[in-house]
Structure 1
Amino acid sequence: MSVSIAEVQVEHHESGFGISHTAPRLSWRFGPSTVKDWTQASYEVVVTRNGKDEQYKVDSAESVLVPWPSKPLSSRESATVKVRAIGKDGTSTDWKEAKLELGLLEEEQWKGDLISCPRRQVDEPKRPFRVWKEFKVDKAGRAGLYATAHGIYEATLNGKRIGDQVLAPGWQSYKHYLAYQIYDVTDLLVSGTNVLGAYVGEGWYATRLGRPGERNLWGDRPAFLGQLEVDGNVVVKTDSSWVWADGPVITSEIYDGETVDTRLDDETWWKAKGSPVEVLGKPKGKLVSRDAPPVRRLLEVKPKEVITTKSGKKVLDFGQNLVGWVRIDKDFSGKEGTITIRHAEVMEHGELGVRPLRTAKATDEIILGGRTKGWEPKFTFHGFRYAEVSGVDVDLDSFTAVVVYSDMRRTGTFHSSHSAINQLHSNVVWSMMGNFVSVPTDCPQRDERLGWTGDIQAFAPTANFLFDTAGFLGGWLNDVDVEQRLDHNNIPPEVVPKVTMNKRPVRPMAIWADVVALTPWDLYEAFGDEHLLSQQWESMCLWLDKGLPRRSTGLWDHRAVQYGDWLDPRAPPQLPAHGLTDTHLAADAYLVWTTGIVAKIAHVLGKEAEAKRWDKNYADVLREFRLEYVSANGRLVSDTQTAIALALRFGLIEGEKQREHSRERLEYLVRWDAFKISTGFAGTPNILHALADNGLLHLAYRMLQEKDDPSWLYPVGMGATTIWERWNSMLPDGSINPGQMTSFNHYALGAVASFLHAVVGGLSPLEPGYRTALVQPQPGGTITSAKVRYDSPYGPYAVDWTLNGEQLEVKVEVPPNGKAKVVLPGVEETIGSGTREYNVKWEGDKRWPPKLLPGPSSIQMPDEYVP
């Protein structure tokens, strides 16, 4: 197979259309190839601007984020880029093309104002409204719409929906930024009379958010802003000449759902007479076009079963916990009454399990009398597997679940011989999709759905493998940075965008706030972009220098309240921070680790004076941590799985003697706990890696394969299709955990997938951005085969291994211009592109299966482990 370029990417943008970079860096991923040891010697770029070609040839092996070769681009400018790569062997790829277009780079280029209907009742849900404007063009040319809203909008031209985005413009820190979208509407524009319109809902901007819930956190006037240009000239903009009217949607809230009166639906609403809009002026937030992909409808799921509950209700089971909404596929226009759709993630004792929703209603109501076929909500979304439908007859053909999430490119996959672990991995993927709706949220169903910083900090390595998150998380980190610096006295908020929780101010919180350094570093390791580090540099330094309250030793001030190892399974249901591990030990462990990462970042960025300062700071806090928490023999004062895992994983134990003692103690605790997990948010991402890295791989596999509560496979055995917030969100008797924090779609504990990818599958980055990958599968437990694939910035890496008796058969795939270090029994070599196969002698771990410690006779070792 010859070498080819699969895609040319512009910065971290999904398409290059609507970018904000005047000198965008270019990358090209290579497709799969069997050509061995192919490396790039040079590349050629043809940039076409204003009909003229500019040709460039660069002698370089770089293919990721190479500099823009031409002069800077300007607002609205379009260009076509063609790239081909030439190998050291003299062969070259075919040309691969990418088209790009810049957005509006200067504030003064925005000619319109935010427009709205008259002020609604401030303390109530705000009814969505329509705005529109009739205009004429003499000749339909190249037409583009620039649009955004305070709230959520859906734009139309001549009654036809514009684009495929939903929930636009997404959620952001409105006080500082307002993302806008660009649409090519050339095909919708006609010569003569046209009508540009938009349907506007309150979205995240003015709805009830947080707990117990507060409205209008950024404003109480949902509004639309847009301008349509033809051949670069503004032909219509939002101003006082527009009109407005109510539409068929009566209310629509993020938490509570949508109510629509189909009798008010008018297919020609844009031809009606409206009332003058009110002009609100310019937005406060800076108008930006981000690299983050938009939210789209990406999957459809048909119901698997109609359940009749004990109380006689009809419930659709879609077979998968998901995020989106229910679409009606049947025409009920001849009926009267109301269709009510209640959403929930689980059934409890034969009825819809709505208690975990807390105060969120998660209910859609469709008043009949008009068209229903094709109806779906416009301004809300739900997290659900089950939908209780009343008001009409219910069957499998009349409804479809529409799955929405931010349209990131899927990059990583995993599969093994163990069906339950495969289901666990599927659960991780579905939880990530459901919680990556505009911002990385903690849960998609209840009265929360917030951008908790600790959750994504724990999960980022897994997220970065499964999907291309560079644009998505890079944009969100900009909001973290600006809210930290300008709003919260250098303290990163616990949730971003910041939502008031129980009226309390922002608190400095270890592990959560450490996202400002740890997540940029994780992004750098996955995508190799130093800019992701430099843009967050000030944020991470301000946190450690000014935001974090310290004692004289440099460690955390003991008066600071901490979440610690949040949701340790031993914590009481109503006190999720009261786990076994000392909260300040966990906080200080992360402080040492974060400080060390910041020192590494300084070196990467060439900030040598800063690197020297942070290296010393790291040495100082590491010394103080050891004095405070580690005995002379290596025993930690907090004797838990989490404490020891953090100490080993973060290099906090000094000397081999102390490390050996800690390893022995961790082994004891894992056996004593009968291989059940006893970690929360702090320990879970680290526990299996700590075991594997310290000669206890057999215990890591035994813990991974444990099926009883608490364990990763317990929810799988209970029928879970997403990751739960608690290890036992559902109790064995089918009752929902009594704790208030009980979500059935919560990705944090799914951080275990990084172990599946790197250790079980055997694929991880050895150099940032997978310039060189590490291939080191480590079979164990009862898993006899596994395959993992990652479409890196260079192209696809893959590892496929099978145990065949005493032989380990491994197939490795490396993309053109990539390298991999292969570490197998008797093999340690670095290879170039192509496919290679290895067949090596494999000695099974004689410690498998590991024995329990002597204990109560009620604790029995399972006889077997069924994949």
Structure 2
Amino acid sequence: MTLSSNTPHPAASPPDGSHRHAVTPLVRNVQLEHVEPGEILGVGAPRLSWRLIGGAPDFQQHCYEVEFASGGQSSTQRVESRDSVLVAWPFETMASRQNGVVRVRCQARDGRWTAWSDACEVAVGLLESSDWSAQFVTPRTLGGFTDGAPHIFTTFELQEAPAAARLYISAHGIYEPYVNGVRVGKDIFAPGWTAYEKRLRYQSYDVTSHLGEGVNSLGAILGNGWFRGQLVWKGNRLNYGDRLALIAQLELEFPDGSRRMVLSDGSWSALPTGILSDDFYDGECRDMRLPLSIDAARSELVDVLDEDRSRLVARRGPSVRATERKPAVSLMRSPSGRLQADFGQNLVGWVELVVRDRQRGDRIVVRHAEVLEGGELARRPLRSAEATCTYICAGDGEEMLRPSFTYNGFRYIDIAGVDESDVVSVVAVVLGTDLRRIGWMTTSDPRLNRLHENVVWSARGNFLEVPTDCPQRDERLGWTGDIQLFAPTANYLFDSSGFLADWLEDVAAEQWADGSVPFIVPDVLREMRATAAGWGDAAVVVPMSLYLSFGDLGLLRRQYPSMRAWVDKVRALAGEDHIWTTGGPFGDWLDPLAPPDDPARAQADPTVVSTAYFSRSAQLLAEAASRLGLNSDARHYSTMAGEIRASFERHFVAEDGVVRSDCQTVYALALCGNLISDEGRRARAGERLVRLVLDADCTVATGLLGTAVILDALVIAGRPDVALRMLTQTRLPSWLYAVEMGATTMWERWDSMLPDGSVNPGEMTSFNHYANGAVADWMHRRIGGIAPTAPGYRRFEVRPLACFALDHGSARHTSPYGDIAVRWVREDATVEFHVEVPHGTEADVWLPGGSGPIVVGPGQHGWSGLRESA
């Protein structure tokens, strides 16, 4: 073996040995909790995070100072610590409505100080139910499901413009807020979807610039949303109640220091609007002849609802917003003559259609679909979802038509009621929870790049308020099994820390008293109480994945009772032998050999699958307990995990290494779960897995649970080359089959579209499901080469395994400590290798052809002339 390195030497020290003149890093990205700067906080003692960027790589934070200015006073606290991620608030707990700014600077052990960071705004929300004086109000007669979207409003007079004005607002249903007829904020579908009976989010907006002297108006249009609209199947409405309602509290401060509140109460009014009907699944009907107005003569009074305001909570992460605009790439006629638009990308959102020269009262109908079949929209996969928007034109020259209270998953639309010549523009507005992108990768294989981009687009589309399974048909639900598989991928690609932390609060809120975890969260299938291996395990797996990615020990502490309750529930079900025989009903869901109409009929024995997951969750719980200092629990669950592993091997693994049901999934779970202790049997099990994969010509023969671990299992078996062959296989079933078929998102089934271009005949067929995109986690770790080994990437591994199978690869991830980057290029038989390590971290770098890791600290590192073997 030959190995050479051109690792740069650390910057030379000054002649006197001091570092006073060395360039110090900059303190950047100061953040409170997981919220965006300026957004309200739901706690009075928020944790702080920041990053050190640039400067000398030898700068190691020894202590930091935090300056907090509020109410005309400021104070500074010094803390001796190397920590910079989610550190404790060093001041007194803030009160509701308190605001200010915070700055941070850091010092190295040799005395060097960084400059102060930029100021980060601090705004505390309403922390107690007693902070709310407003009431929930609902239209008296206009609020029926068939009455369309009501506008609830009030008017009030001001003697002068306020110096400050902040609106706190929420709803039963979803809302668009308006002040003086102007839309407030950029949030869409607020207040979002939570376990409404237990948690209802509120939003807050600075509306100072919207108000002035004289008569002002405040109100919101209410849509059905998740509260009252269809969920799951046709006719399944009114899941949380039959009356839409608004709560609004406008708090004003005037130049002389006086204060005033404008509160939703029985004096408010309600009006009908031009939104005649709205539903997430079916679409929206909008009469453009009826603009938003304040018309006292047509309005009616509201009723006040007696609602528990202690349910109102601030959100932990970003809202749903418009994140991108994609103009249609073509406008064409279908074989039947329908006008169609293709946006070139399967996406989630709505269409902005601008038309001209329409007559007053003309109807324009827009239908959505993900794919074409025979040149027409393939709408059968939508099942009962109509996915249709209807507009009645005002006839005012050019008109922009778009909905407010619906969304669709689509690449194609057809438009009835207008000719091409009267279409000014057709633009798809991409909607989703506005998560910050933090992870990228690329390779020399454009097919793998497209696969990775498909994973990104499926996450963008399905991360809409909750992590849904699909965004298009009558099933846009927070299935726990899907996110359990996908969480590591999501956490690499996006800052999902607040988004998933918020969702996990609902997991705990919806969990049954006996520890059972619903199949979907929020739970609208309340009668389906059965436990499911791989689905309920999300209560344990997702918190631990978040902890590893973002270092949030507080989240682990908050979720620990939920995690423990799940494992204890399974322990009771499994009995004394620790074999879980009742872990249905899904098993290794969507095995490619299962019949289209029976996706649970997998090759893998469901008891093997369930017991493997039981072992995994018990071990993860033991690790969580250890991290939290719960030593007795850590010992208890570690012992339990060991007993499960021993029982698994005793019951399911033969002397020759054959695992019961002898299919790819059971070997993958056994190897990745360290469920075979005997070295000989483990080696033979690995050999058997490799043989099964090779006999299948490296096509996929696993359902969802096996697919997430199959490539790692092949690496454990010593055959990363077979893993890469499986990843790059294009024959059905394979990841790249869909890419070859033109997919721009991940499919639910390997053959959602058949080779002849027809749609799979199964009733359950989606072209935007992220679950099988969990393979991107393997790509990030084994092609890009980046994997966390300590919480928050404080220590990470760099170990790409594909350097001698691809021409080049690169990956970049913005960790809580800063940017991690890996780049490698192969030329002939050698590899050039580069790694970037952020301040406050260190990396174990496994060089291609090397025998062990090299530990490197912050800075840029490079090697060349690396060879695979002697």
* Contact 1:130–1:245 (8 Å) recurs in 2: yes
Is contact 2:44-2:95 (8 Å) kept? yes
Structure 1 position 541 matched with structure 2 position 541 = no
Partner SS, residue 119 of structure 2: strand
In structure 2, what is the Cα distance between the partners aligned to 1:634 and 1:212?
A: 49
Query: Which amino acid in the other structure matches residue 225 of structure 1?
Result: I
Code of the aligned partner of 2:439: G
Bigger Cα displacement from structure 2, 541-550 vs 788-797: 541-550
Pairing partner for 2:368 from 334, 339, 343:
343
Task: State how far apart, in whole Å, the 1-side matches of 2:401 and 2:175 are.
Answer: 17
CA deviations 1:198-241 (Å, max 9, x no partner) are 00011100111113541111101111111100139452111111
Query: Mapping of 1:457-468 within 5 angstroms?
Result: 457-468=484-495
The code of the aligned residue for 2:406 comes to T
What corresponds to 2:674 in structure 1? 651
| 2:169 counterpart letter in structure 1 | A
Percent identical pairs in the alignment equals: 41
Q: Which amino acid counterpart does residue 491 of structure 1 have in structure 2? A: S
Shift in Å, 1:407: 0.9
Match of 2:288 in 1: 262
- In structure 1, C-alpha distance between the alignment counterparts of 2:651 and 2:425, rounded to whole Å: 63
Is 1:308 the equivalent of 2:330?
A: no
Q: Structure 1 CA distance, aligned partners of 2:425 and 2:116?
A: 48
RMSD of Structure 2 on Structure 1 (CA)? 1.9
Q: Which moved more, 1:281-290 or 1:437-446?
A: 281-290
Residue identity opposite 1:192 in structure 2: G
Q: Find the partner of 2:507 among 459, 475, 480.
A: 480
Q: Which amino acid aligns with 2:381?
A: P
Instruction: Please tell me the residue identity of whatever aligns with 1:182.
Output: S
The 3 A distance-change label for structure 1 pair 564 and 142 is: same
Partner amino acid, structure 2, of 1:298: T
Tell me what 1:377 maps to. Answer: 403
Q: Partners of 1:662 and 1:465 in 2: how far apart? A: 31
Determine whether 1:567 maps to 2:593: no
Q: Retained in 2: the 8 A contact 1:808–1:839? A: yes
Quote the residue 1:19 is aligned against. 41
Displacement of 1:740 in angstroms is 1.6
Matches within 5 A, 1:211-230: 211-230=233-252
Q: Does 1:242 align with 2:265?
A: no
CA distance in 2, matches of 1:587, 1:149: 40
3-state SS, counterpart of residue 236 of structure 2: coil
What do the CA deviations read for 1:464-487 (whole angstroms, capped 9, x no partner)?
00001110000100001011045x
CA distance in 2, matches of 1:96, 1:121: 48
Tell me the residue number matched to 2:497. 470
Flag the 1:548–1:279 CA change in 2: closer, same or farther, 3 A: farther
State the shift of 1:782 in Å.
Answer: 4.1
Tell me if the contact between 1:84 and 1:96 (Cα under 8 Å) persists in the aligned partners. Answer: no
> Is this contact kept in 1: 2:518–2:528, CA < 8 A?
no
SS of the residue corresponding to residue 41 of structure 1 reads strand
Report the 3-state secondary structure (helix = DSSP H, G, I; strand = E; otherwise coil) of the residue aligned with 1:17: coil
CA drift at 1:39: 1.7
Is contact 1:20–1:289 with CA below 8 Å preserved after alignment?
yes
1:611 aligns with 2:611: no
- Contact 2:784–2:822 (Cα < 8 Å) also in 1: yes
Report the Cα offset of residue 548 of structure 1: 6.0
Q: Is the Cα–Cα contact under 8 Å of residues 570 and 614 in structure 2 kept in the other structure?
A: no
Match of 1:251 among 266, 273, 277: 277
Give the Cα separation in 2 of the matches to 1:474 and 1:560: 26
Partners of 2:142 and 2:272 within 8 A in 1: no
Closer, same or farther in 2 for the Cα pair 1:415/1:558, shift >3 Å?
A: same
In structure 2, C-alpha distance between the alignment counterparts of 1:716 and 1:424, rounded to whole Å: 6
How many angstroms does 1:11 deviate by? 0.9
Of residues 475-484 and 54-63 in structure 1, the stretch that sits farther from structure 2 once superposed is 54-63
SS of 2:40's partner is: strand
Please list, as runs of the form range in 1=range in 2, the aligned pairs for 1:417-436 lying within 5 A after superposition. Answer: 417-436=444-463
1:263 aligned counterpart, secondary structure = coil
Secondary structure of residue in 2 paired with 1:405 = strand
In structure 1, distance between residues paired with 2:42 and 2:67: 21
Give 1:135's aligned residue: 156
1:734 aligns to 2:757 (yes or no): yes
Task: Decide whether the 8 Å contact of 1:417 with 1:784 is kept in 2.
Answer: yes
Q: SS where residue 218 of structure 1 aligns?
A: coil
Q: Deviations over 1:740-775 (max 9, x none)?
A: 221100000000000110110101112110111211
TM-score w.r.t. the length of structure 1 is 0.94
What secondary structure, in the 3-state scheme, does the structure 2 residue paired with 1:533 have? Answer: helix
Q: What one-letter code is carried by the residue in structure 1 that aligns with 2:77?
A: Y
SS at match of 1:462: helix
Moved more, 684-693 or 448-457: 684-693
Q: 2 CA distance for matches of 1:12 and 1:559?
A: 38
Equivalent residue, structure 1, for 2:349: 324
The reply on whether 1:398 has 2:425 as its aligned counterpart is yes
Match of 2:350, SS? strand
Q: Distance in 2 between matches of 1:120 and 1:754?
A: 50
- The answer as to whether partners of 2:438 and 2:815 remain within 8 angstroms in 1 is yes
Matched, 1:281 2:302: no
Q: 1:654 to 1:212 in 2, by over 3 A?
A: farther
Kindly indicate whether the alpha-carbon contact (under 8 Å) linking 1:562 and 1:587 is maintained by their aligned counterparts in 2: no
Matching of residue 521 in structure 1 with residue 544 in structure 2: yes
* CA shift in 2, pair 1:234/1:513, >3 Å: farther
CA contact (8 A) 2:68 2:76 kept: yes
Match of 1:440 in 2: 467
Local SS of the residue matching 1:8: strand
What's the counterpart of residue 209 of structure 2? Answer: 187
CA distance in 2, matches of 1:258, 1:629: 54
1:108 lines up with 2:133 in the alignment: no
**Unmatched segments (≥5 aa) in structure 2:** 1-22
How big is the shift at 1:499? Answer: 1.4
With normalisation by structure 2, the TM-score equals: 0.94
Query: Does 2:868 match 1:843?
Result: yes
Residue 293 of structure 1, CA deviation: 0.8
Change (3 A) 1:667 1:445: same
Name the amino acid aligned to 1:521: M
Tell me the amino acid that sits aligned with residue 577 of structure 1.
Answer: A
Q: Aligned residue pairs: how many? A: 838
Residue in structure 1 matching 2:691, options 644, 652, 668: 668
Gap change, CA 1:555 and 1:348, over 3 Å in 2: farther
Unaligned runs of 5+ in 1: 846-867
Distance (Å, rounded) in 1 between the aligned partners of 2:128 and 2:726: 55
Residue equivalent to 1:54: 75
Given candidates 408, 413, 417, the residue that maps to 2:435 is 408
Q: Specify the alignment match of 1:852 in structure 2.
A: none
Distance across 2 between alignment mates of 1:560 and 1:36: 51
1:565, 1:577 within 8 Å by CA — same for their partners in 2?
Answer: yes
Query: Matches of 2:626 and 2:839 in 1, distance apart?
Result: 29
